[in-house]
Structure 1
């Protein structure tokens, strides 16, 4: 593999505008305090707050009621803990502790309320999921609830796929990784929450159309691949193959600088794919005979929401988030706030 040389994070030239809800700082502080109170993190709360989950929420869910902004910020905080905890288990070879918790989360989100599943111990990670999931579903219309109940278990399976990708001597293909990354980004449940908060309900037949599918996946690819560039030093340093730039470098014998440039080119191509899909959507609506003004407005608003996600995530990583500039993170070390005992800490 090439040497971890220095590289410049490119400007991805996303042709969208973004503004931030004024509740960003307050929501970030409240979500941090919630994580501390629930025992999700072990000290280093200032480092945890520096992730800026409240600021990302404020960029993608602006104008939502404050309690929903806080809820999404708490979900994002939980998601970062989930990601860090899963990474720690992989590093320490303790993935056997992960499956009972993952199974319990999947069962709860599907609506199975027969008590805590047998092998899953009480833990702060699981208990806070139950708390958040119940609050999230209570604020969602049934159609979005159904998607959320599908997206969370799929997200968990993608973490298993990423763990498998880190087996010694294994390297996923770029194509395999792209499919996994769409879910391990954890974006889909968050997008569900934003659409519920913003009152965006796109008709199911439109969501199934090729134009809308391309719209959604291209937006998710843009966000995920951009994040891979920001997180490249950490993932490369610890030998994590779950990174588009690292995989392009390995498979195509590129320097990391050239690999980052290749990711930039792919991001630009996916932005063009997104714009082309958006232009095809009115025709898709006509093809399905959708004439209802509310449905057309919801589709337009969903396009704008995906635009907010793409540019908002980029601006958050550049200006609101200290995670990718932290020396421990860049060196490939686990976060200072990570709790080794989290899966058994209630």
Structure 2
């Protein structure tokens, strides 16, 4: 829970403009330092000190490989947040393929997968963690979760002028209106679900000793996707007080008139 709260806190700091471009780069530099150096002195900056506490606790009681996967995922997430910030400052809207690649890091989903390894005391060797099918299952799960998030979070993000959203990117690149963009993103999600199921059917056996760990890791991917989608209809973070109504009706109310600058 501490780790999830830290991720949201840091992401919100970057999104809100609380840190300017140089401040964000400096903060990310400190994050990378504490990830690499377990003996670094405790920072006086709260967001850094909180991460140090989390990572050091994990180092004390977690498996080496699981902790390393968390460290790698946090580093990738933090560095990509800088790219998102630069794009926002320059009003640059990525191409669809650029966005898909960037979103896989800014979603922080890889961090959650790694935390699932840690929480379930898994010790995944590279034979599993780097297996092409398992890697692609994780990527597909990331896409499904992230793109669904972009649909549900679009009203809130549009009201704040945030461009890092698949709906907005589809409006801009495909030259379509809001409903056309939502339909496009939804279809991409459906295709990704089909690809996930086809990939899962091709999963090889890693032998009796490792198959259970592989199954637990894949279950973690699926639980992560489903849990986040359920959470969107519980938290007021994206849909405000309309979350339950949106779940029941399938209709998301817009907070402000949609900007036409995307099309």
Q: Shared fold (TM-score greater than 0.5)?
A: yes
Q: Which has the higher contact order (CA 8 A, sep 6+)?
A: 1
The residue aligned with 1:78 is 6
The residue aligned with 2:237 is 323
- The alpha-carbon deviation at position 111 of structure 1 amounts to 2.2
1:294 to 209, 214, 218: 209
Partner Cα separation in structure 1 for residue 109 and residue 37 of structure 2: 21
Partner Cα separation in structure 2 for residue 299 and residue 93 of structure 1: 40
1:164 to 59, 66, 86: 86
- The alpha-carbon deviation at position 234 of structure 1 amounts to 2.1
The residue aligned with 2:142 is 220
The residue aligned with 1:335 is none
Q: CA RMSD in A?
A: 2.0
Name the CA shift for 1:197/1:243 in 2 (closer, same or farther; >3 Å): same
Partner Cα separation in structure 2 for residue 100 and residue 251 of structure 1: 33
Aligned residues: 244
Partner Cα separation in structure 2 for residue 169 and residue 161 of structure 1: 12
Name the CA shift for 1:200/1:108 in 2 (closer, same or farther; >3 Å): same
Unaligned 5+ runs, structure 2? 242-253, 257-263
- Describe the superposition over 1:97-130 as per-residue Cα deviations: whole angstroms up to 9, x where unpaired: 22222111111111253446xxxx7222111111
Q: Is the 8 A contact 1:229 1:260 kept in 2?
A: yes
Q: Is the 8 A contact 1:172 1:241 kept in 2?
A: no
Partner Cα separation in structure 2 for residue 245 and residue 181 of structure 1: 12
- The alpha-carbon deviation at position 190 of structure 1 amounts to 2.1
2:98 to 165, 168, 176: 176
Q: Is the 8 A contact 1:86 1:98 kept in 2?
A: yes
Q: Is the 8 A contact 2:66 2:122 kept in 1?
A: no
- The alpha-carbon deviation at position 180 of structure 1 amounts to 1.1
- The alpha-carbon deviation at position 172 of structure 1 amounts to 0.8
Partner Cα separation in structure 1 for residue 151 and residue 231 of structure 2: 14
| Superposed counterparts of 1:50-199, under 5 Å | 73-89=1-17, 94-111=20-37, 113-115=39-41, 122-199=44-121
- The alpha-carbon deviation at position 168 of structure 1 amounts to 3.2
- The alpha-carbon deviation at position 325 of structure 1 amounts to 2.2
- The alpha-carbon deviation at position 310 of structure 1 amounts to 1.3
Partner Cα separation in structure 2 for residue 259 and residue 169 of structure 1: 19
1:281 aligned counterpart, secondary structure: coil
Partner Cα separation in structure 2 for residue 87 and residue 186 of structure 1: 14
Name the CA shift for 1:140/1:102 in 2 (closer, same or farther; >3 Å): same
2:202 aligned counterpart, secondary structure: helix
- The alpha-carbon deviation at position 177 of structure 1 amounts to 1.1
Q: Is the 8 A contact 1:136 1:193 kept in 2?
A: no
Name the CA shift for 1:195/1:114 in 2 (closer, same or farther; >3 Å): closer
| Superposed counterparts of 1:203-214, under 5 Å | 203-214=125-136
Q: Is the 8 A contact 1:225 1:267 kept in 2?
A: yes
1:242 aligned counterpart, secondary structure: coil
